[in-house]
Amino acid sequence: ISSSFRDSSVFKSEAYFCGEWKKGDETFCLRNPATQDEISSITDCGISDYNEAIKGAHGAFKSFRKSAPSSRSEALQNIYELMQENKEDLARLVTMENGKPYRESLAEVDYASSYFKWFSEEAHRMVGTIMPGSGSTEKKILTIRRPLGVVGILTPWNFPTAMIARKLAPALAAGNTCVVKPAQETPLSALAYGWLCEQAGFESGVCNILPTSHADVVGKYMCQHDLVSKITFTGSTKVGRILMQHVHNKTGTIKKVSMELGGNAPFIIFEDADIYKALDGIMASKFRNSGQTCICANRIFVHESLYDTVASSLAKRMETDLVMGSGFDVHVTQGPLINDKAVNKVSDLVEDAKNKGAKVLMGGTRASTLGRNFYHPTILTDVDESMDVFHKEIFGPVACLIKFKTTEEVLRRSNDSNVGLAGYFYTANIGTIMKLAEDLEVGMIGVNSSEISDAVLPFGGVKDSGLGREGSLYGINDYTELKSIILEP
């Protein structure tokens, strides 16, 4: 697959704020995670750039908040169409900087664009209510939804296009202005939104994208800036905690926060499961983006009666279906991990599990001949609670198989986690379905399905997986505040 652009205008390396592309004095070097080759040098923004962008966004909010819902809707629909027209080029950016296979990048761009389509429709539906007062039906209580102001958007590298889409689309639909801090690893997909917003007809200052290599300093600054009304973040629970402390430590403005943080998804295969469907589910859920998603199957619980069959069938599927290499190679399904830190983490988790009695059925080593960021797709069996891999988000291509006997046992063990984002289970028993749907401590459940990403679905977690829901008919609520009005005749 060619990595050359049809229209190179999507490729931007300068920051975009206050309606201008700005080449800063400072730059950082962006490298391809598969080859380590330099892709480009990127403008490296600091606090003074962020201050200018936030002030600009605050100024732009004055008129944007009053813009007609139909004009915001049209501009969002334009972004959707532009993303569809430029899908191949946008996918090239994702594969270049993130490393994922081009086909997955195309799917990500599609998924990202669906949020602009969805929220272009939702822009018309900032629904309020009218209720009679409790003491008199003459008295009316009205509620209306208002935008918040400047929204600070901080996003990770694993879905560089889609994670911004899930925040930017509802924020703009509701009439907020935005300042985006993308992950240092993936600035290109983010900067493309500057171009998309320009082309789509958003006024200058409404959407600002500022790459930076100073995530900690800039993150803190955004959280404590008086003109920022809301912080929305997707990333690790560790960084989410830091950002929440920054938001709450200051004596200044009170900000709203949305946090979409780490997961430790249980994937349960009951005795009566359709085993082929479950295997398809593991392949999709575990190996998408080489295991670097927050909703990846992290702990695969298999009923003891199926355990050996699932292990050997999974090994066969992985052997035939998974091919590692450059994301631009049409046969490749497994790209590199994002960086050395990620590979070291996966390697340490596997070593710890081995030392505590897990067996390596497949893989278990780096694939150094392909490059320093590659790790072999791996199956660990006999995994249990004594191992770090049971408790930590793996973020790599390691399938951990855990044996269980009873429903009560697997429910208790699944809930043995401080986080709760996604969970999956496979069974035909309606009683089991109802019980787990109720009692599994996660925000999203796939029943006989691993495909839970959809703009229609409220995406988000419970426990230390975060706050708020993205997408769906509820998604706009997180970017608005309710105003109440009492009206007497």
Catalytically active residues, by annotation: 260
Pick between residue 157 and residue 390 the one whose CB is nearest to ligand ADP. Answer: 157
In whole angstroms, how close is the CB of 405 to ligand ADP at the nearest point? 35
Overall residue count recorded for the chain in this entry: 489
Find out whether 6 and 89 touch, Cβ atoms under 8 Å. Answer: yes
In whole angstroms, how close is the CB of 77 to ligand ADP at the nearest point? 28
Q: Which stretch binds ligand ADP (CB under 6 A): 97-105, 194-202, 236-244, 480-488?
A: 236-244
Write out 462-486 in H/E/C secondary structure: EECCEECCECCCCHHHHHEEEEEEE
Find out whether 16 and 208 touch, Cβ atoms under 8 Å. Answer: yes
Pick between residue 49 and residue 122 the one whose CB is nearest to ligand ADP. Answer: 49
Pick between residue 78 and residue 232 the one whose CB is nearest to ligand ADP. Answer: 232
Count of residues binding ligand ADP (CB under 6 A)? Answer: 14
Find out whether 179 and 150 touch, Cβ atoms under 8 Å. Answer: yes
Find out whether 446 and 265 touch, Cβ atoms under 8 Å. Answer: no
Alpha helices in 12-161 (DSSP H): 47-64, 69-85, 87-98, 102-122
Find out whether 80 and 199 touch, Cβ atoms under 8 Å. Answer: no
Q: Which of 34, 231, 239, 322 binds ligand ADP (CB under 6 A)?
A: 239
Cα 31 from Cα 34, distance rounded (Å): 9
Buried b (16+ CB within 10 A) or exposed e, 188-202: bbbbbbbbbbbbbeb
Contact code string over 430-469 relative to ligand ADP, x by CB under 6 A: ----------------------------------------
Hey, which residues does 379 pair with through a beta bridge?
362, 399
Q: Which of 236, 313, 347, 415 binds ligand ADP (CB under 6 A)?
A: 236
Cα 350 from Cα 163, distance rounded (Å): 28
Q: Which of 235, 291, 377, 461 binds ligand ADP (CB under 6 A)?
A: 235
In whole angstroms, how close is the CB of 135 to ligand ADP at the nearest point? 49
In whole angstroms, how close is the CB of 479 to ligand ADP at the nearest point? 19
* Per-residue CA distances from 236 to 116, 138, 232, 475 (Å): 25, 51, 13, 21
Pick between residue 80 and residue 374 the one whose CB is nearest to ligand ADP. Answer: 374
Q: Which stretch binds ligand ADP (CB under 6 A): 140-148, 212-220, 275-283, 364-372?
A: 212-220
Tokens read off for 467: 């706050």
In whole angstroms, how close is the CB of 237 to ligand ADP at the nearest point? 8
Pick between residue 40 and residue 236 the one whose CB is nearest to ligand ADP. Answer: 236
> Which 139-168 residues touch ligand ADP, going by CB under 6 A?
154-157
Q: Could you tell me which of 69, 342, 9 has the C-alpha nearest to residue 192?
A: 9
Q: Which of 219, 396, 420, 461 binds ligand ADP (CB under 6 A)?
A: 219
Pick between residue 242 and residue 473 the one whose CB is nearest to ligand ADP. Answer: 242
Question: Residue 242, interface with ligand ADP (CB under 6 A)?
Answer: yes
Nearest residue to the partner ligand ADP, using Cβ: 219
Give the 3-state secondary structure of residue 366: strand
Q: Which of 10, 183, 196, 383 binds ligand ADP (CB under 6 A)?
A: 183
Cα 90 from Cα 8, distance rounded (Å): 10
Question: Residue 263, interface with ligand ADP (CB under 6 A)?
Answer: no
Tell me which residues touch ligand ADP (CB under 6 A): 154-157, 183-184, 215-216, 219, 235-236, 239, 242-243
